[in-house]
Amino acid sequence: MENNLLEKIAERFGQHASVKNVFGEAIETQGKTIIPVARVAMGLGGGHGRKMSKENLNNEINQPEGEGAGGGLMTTAKGVYEITGKCTRFIPANATMQYIAIAAFAYLAGRLIGRKKR
């Protein structure tokens, strides 16, 4: 397989592997600029093979051969940057840690209130 094939595939994936293509351009509204943030991951692979039979070792023209290539692209939203005249802050798209903290706080508060009632 030619190296050009993998280069062409990587180039095509690279054209589409951007936050802008997935989530769009930055948005300006009400004195704020909102910039989307994402993680983009790409994987490529390829191979080439030829079956060498004992009868045709010297005749490379008639040897069966094959090649293949493929790839994958994954994007995950991470959040947005909000830029104002006063400050810049990152707002995460996945607030898992916040939910865990709230659940832990609610559990501890429930335990404390339960003890005081007894």
Domain residue ranges of the chain, discontinuous segments joined by +: 3-93
pLDDT tens, residue order, the chain (118 aa): 456 766 777 777 666 666 666 667 788 888 899 988 888 787 877 777 877 666 656 665 666 777 877 777 787 888 889 999 999 999 888 777 777 888 888 888 888 887 776 6
What sign does the dihedral 24-26-28-31 (CA atoms) show?
positive
The whole-number pLDDT of residue 47 equals 79
CB atoms inside a 10 Å sphere around CB 117: 6
The whole-number pLDDT of residue 36 equals 87
